[in-house]
Amino acid sequence: MGTRQPAITGPATRRLQCVFIAVFSAFLVAPTLQERTGAFSYDAVVENRVKAVRPEGFLGIFDSGNDYAQKYEAYYNDTYGLRDFLIKLKNQLDLWLFRVSDEVLVGKDGWLFYRKLYQRDMRALEAAGSRLPVLTQRLLRLNQLLEKRGITLIVVPCPAKTTLYPENVPTQYPAYPADTAFQRYRASLRQHPELLSVDVQAILESLKPRMRVFHKTDFHWTDPAGAVVWKNLYAVLASKAGLATPQLGRITVKKVPKSSGGEINSLAVFFPPLETSLQLKAPLAQPSGSTEQTKDPNRWTYTASNPTDPSLLPATLLIGDSFSDAFLRSGFAAAFSKLYKVSNHDFGQALLNIPDGTKFVIVEHIESFLLALLLDPTWPPELRAELEQLPASPAFDEPKPQALRHTKDSQQ
């Protein structure tokens, strides 16, 4: 039998054991101490949700079926000490060591992409098979309905960053097909010129060789790219209104170090990656009127200082999202006698409550919003019923599936 090795003892070993116990104990009590005292300060994780609040009615926990325990657990999971610090620490290590994130795809050369948007686009593709013709008919009938009221509808669909920059998506990510619901949607709009639209993807693809049209670390397009799209939209509106195409300011670009935006916030790290962001040096036009914003931040009205100016476009309702904010930062409002802005989250109600005197309705939406447009709840029942009374337009020819836009081999 082998001889038993004697235990290593001595002052140095005991000190090491004491240090280990002290550090381990500190890790155990630190969250509670932070929760009680708030001794350490750090930026909280930015989350697109409302955190759980501390529930009331503790004594009700003894009642059968009471959900106090579940509510308190949700509250504790959102508020325990050092929660956000630990989340950021874990995410930072994932980014540094493995270049992965739970919420964001970490692509080539510092490009970030929302993970969930691809899944949403795939669901839209599945829904498009039977629903896209229904959506096309609704838009065409909506155009008829508005024309009877002397209003022109213009659709401005904006592609996602994954559509414009598939070459920068991580190679382990499933290849993005060319026949997505969005591409079929674009095809249907092109086949119905009676419905005015702006082919934003074509504009951005022609612009892409000359400048970056999307932020690397943010979900949105750059303001210079948005300004180019605005110029094209402006020309369509002016032509329809019988106005000479106005002379807008020259698009001048500046480069700004940037590390903010939705995708950066979703990374939730201590040291977010930087990019050289492209921004406008100055707006293309300077609005001189006044803006009135309601309590709802998604609704506001701009009125020109001289609304009777014949060079201005007539009253217009813009139903859009945060992409259309790039229009506004470019001086978009200066072109109108009156401009109403409503979030497309209120799409249905906005169409039911178009202000009197409106001559244009612009529906701007990003690629991922197509899934909402394909589903009935986005369209209020009374609006659907009114549209169904109008005659149908000729169906568009569904484009045949094409080869993949890119494959993993092409990304190497």
* 3-state DSSP of the chain: CCCCCCCCCCHHHHHHHHHHHHHHHHHHHHHHHHHHHCCCCCCCCCCCCCCCCCCCCHHHHHCCCCCHHHHHHHHHHHHCCCHHHHHHHHHHHHHHHHCCCCCEEECHHHCEEEHHHHHHHHHHHHHHHHHHHHHHHHHHHHHHHHHHCCCEEEEEEECCHHHHCHHHCCCCCCCCCCCCHHHHHHHHHHCCCCCEECCHHHHHHHHCCCCCCECCCCCCECHHHHHHHHHHHHHHHHHHHCCCCCCCCCCCEEEEEECCCHHHHHHCCCCCCCEEEEEECCCCCCCCCEEEECCCCCEEEEECCCCCCCCCECCEEEEECHHHHHHHHCCHHHHECEEEEEEHHHHHHHHHCCCCCCCEEEEEEEHHHHHHHHCHHHCCHHHHHHHHCCCCCCCCCCCCCCCCCCCHHHHC
Residue with tokens 């022109």: 152
* pLDDT recorded at residue 57: 80
Which structure tokens are listed for 331?
């001086």
Tell me the C-alpha distance between 86 and 272, whole Å: 16
Query: Mean pLDDT, to the nearest integer, of 167-179?
Result: 78
* pLDDT recorded at residue 23: 82
Query: Mean pLDDT, to the nearest integer, of 273-296?
Result: 84
Residue 316 sits at φ, ψ, to 5 deg, of: -140, 140
Query: Mean pLDDT, to the nearest integer, of 4-20?
Result: 74
Q: Which residues make Cβ contacts (< 8 Å) with residue 142, sequence separation at least 6?
A: 153, 351, 387
* pLDDT recorded at residue 409: 36
In the predicted model, is pLDDT for residue 408 greater than 80?
A: no
In the predicted model, is pLDDT for residue 169 greater than 70?
A: yes
Q: What is the pLDDT of residues 32-51, one digit of tens each?
A: 777 777 777 878 888 878 88
Query: Mean pLDDT, to the nearest integer, of 223-245?
Result: 93
Reference 393, options 191, 90, 99; nearest CA is 191
Residues 73, 53 contacting (CB under 8 angstroms): no
Average pLDDT of the chain?
85
Q: Which residues make Cβ contacts (< 8 Å) with residue 322, sequence separation at least 6?
A: 220
* Stronger pLDDT, 228 or 28, i.e. the higher one: 228
Residue spans of the domains in the chain: they are 22-104, 127-395+403-411
Q: What is the pLDDT of residues 51-101, one digit of tens each?
A: 899 888 877 777 777 888 888 889 988 888 889 988 998 989 989 998 888
Q: What is the pLDDT of residues 343-391, one digit of tens each?
A: 998 999 999 999 999 999 999 999 989 888 988 899 999 999 999 888 8
Residues 288, 233 contacting (CB under 8 angstroms): no
In the predicted model, is pLDDT for residue 411 greater than 60?
A: no
Q: What is the pLDDT of residues 291-339, one digit of tens each?
A: 887 766 668 899 999 999 999 999 999 999 999 999 999 999 999 999 9
* Stronger pLDDT, 193 or 46, i.e. the higher one: 193
Q: Which of 146-160, 237-251, 362-376 has the highest mean pLDDT?
A: 146-160
* pLDDT recorded at residue 12: 78
Q: Which residues make Cβ contacts (< 8 Å) with residue 188, sequence separation at least 6?
A: 132, 136, 396
Residue with tokens 């009590």: 29
Residues 353, 309 contacting (CB under 8 angstroms): no
* pLDDT recorded at residue 293: 74
* Stronger pLDDT, 3 or 109, i.e. the higher one: 109
pLDDT band at 234 (very low <50, low <70, confident <90, very high): very high
* pLDDT recorded at residue 176: 67
* Stronger pLDDT, 246 or 102, i.e. the higher one: 102
Q: Which residues make Cβ contacts (< 8 Å) with residue 356, sequence separation at least 6?
A: none
> 284-320: string of b/e by CB count within 10 Å (b at 16+)?
bbebebeeeeeeeeeebbbbbeeeeeeebbbbbbbbb
Question: What percent of the chain stands above pLDDT 90?
Answer: 44
